[in-house]
């Protein structure tokens, strides 16, 4: 890639990537050229940001309007005790600078909403969402669809986690539209049915596992190897240390790329092969 040559320091820093056939020089150059937006610098975002920075993602944007609190430090390992009371985006940016000075950090000390999401996403190639509420997840996923951006999204429970990749702006190998986040979760759970982290608790190391898996999914997508978790929800049970994968598919009734929704060119029914019903799994 033009302008993405690695310096001698970077060649040594990323030596273990460069000897991987699946990454090598071209893959590392793609990582250096990439612009990734991370939504949330908390339990999932902390390890995610660290590993993206260590891997050499060229530009990392961080969206978070919160400040570091003492109760965060059990799992949000990018922040430290001296950071209590500081904006998380500032603490995370300093940690990245210590870890890898070749990474550019762009901080956005705001809460992502449907109104500001398009502007926040505009300058990035891929989005990784590690937020803790459905309102923001829907806002992020809808904005990624509208902007044509891939989305890596994960969620944490007390002892469980989940991870998937959404590329709803693209068509799958079978000619069907890729599923949206709303195909997986058509509606948010009723208020009060999902206890917040402060009430239910969360196993700190599990946040590290899930955030690291998010980083791996982002790195694979950028470097261009492996099979993304499109249409697959990876579920992790920390009690039994069990990993399972749930398959999910495009819902023709979803409001983003469903049959009744125009994508500006043609309907999803027109995009699908003639005579083939929507895929089910």
Query: Across all residues in the chain, what is the average pLDDT?
Result: 90
Q: Provide the pairing of β-strand 232-237 with 242-247.
A: antiparallel
Report angle CA 225, 242, 166 to the nearest 5 degrees: 40
Predicted confidence at residue 191, as pLDDT, reads: 75
The residue extents of the domains of the chain are 15-271
Which two tokens mark 84?
């209590």
Residues 6 or more apart whose Cβ sits within 8 Å of residue 107: 61, 62, 87, 89, 90, 92, 93
Closest CA to 54 of 24, 95, 6: 95
Q: Provide the pairing of β-strand 126-129 with 35-39.
A: parallel
The model's pLDDT over 176-227, given as tens digits with 9 standing for 90+, comes to: 999 999 999 998 887 766 767 767 899 999 999 999 999 999 999 999 999 9
Q: Provide the pairing of β-strand 104-108 with 126-129.
A: unpaired
Which two tokens mark 177?
């539209």
Query: For the whole model, what pTM was predicted?
Result: 0.90
What's the whole-number mean pLDDT along residues 8-26? 97
The model's pLDDT over 82-98, given as tens digits with 9 standing for 90+, comes to: 999 999 999 999 999 99
Q: What are phi and psi of 231, to 5 degrees?
A: 75, 10
How far, in whole angstroms, is CA 279 from its chain's centroid? Answer: 25
Select from 3.30.1360.120, 3.90.1150.10, 3.30.2350.10, 3.40.50.720 the CATH code of 15-271. Answer: 3.40.50.720
Maximum alpha-carbon separation in the chain? 62
């Amino acid at each position: 890639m033009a302008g993405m040559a690695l310096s001698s320091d970077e060649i040594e820093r990323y030596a273990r990537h460069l000897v991987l056939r699946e990454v090598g020089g071209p893959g590392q150059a793609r990582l250096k050229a990439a612009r990734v937006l991370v939504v949330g610098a908390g339990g999932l975002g902390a390890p995610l940001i660290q590993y993206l920075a260590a891997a050499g993602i060229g530009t990392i944007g961080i969206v978070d309007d919160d400040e570091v609190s003492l109760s965060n430090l059990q799992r949000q390992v990018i922040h430290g005790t001296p950071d209590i009371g500081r904006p998380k985006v500032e603490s995370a940016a300093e940690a990245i600078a210590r870890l890898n000075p070749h990474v550019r950090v762009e901080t956005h000390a705001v809460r992502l909403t449907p109104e500001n999401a398009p502007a926040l996403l505009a300058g990035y190639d891929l989005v990784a969402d590690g937020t803790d509420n459905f309102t923001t997840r829907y806002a992020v996923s809808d904005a990624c669809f509208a902007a044509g951006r891939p989305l890596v999204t994960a969620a944490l429970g007390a002892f469980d986690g989940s991870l998937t990749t959404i590329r709803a702006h693209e068509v799958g190998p079978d000619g069907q539209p890729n599923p949206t986040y709303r195909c997986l979760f058509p509606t948010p759970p009723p208020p009060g049915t999902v206890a917040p982290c402060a009430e239910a608790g969360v196993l700190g190391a599990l946040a590290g596992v899930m955030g690291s898996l998010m980083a791996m999914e982002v790195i694979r997508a950028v470097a261009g190897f492996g099979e993304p978790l499109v249409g697959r929800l990876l579920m992790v049970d920390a009690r039994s240390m069990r990993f399972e994968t749930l398959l999910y598919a495009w819902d023709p009734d979803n409001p983003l790329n469903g049959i009744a929704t125009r994508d500006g060119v043609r309907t999803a029914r027109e995009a699908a092969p003639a005579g083939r019903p929507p895929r089910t799994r």
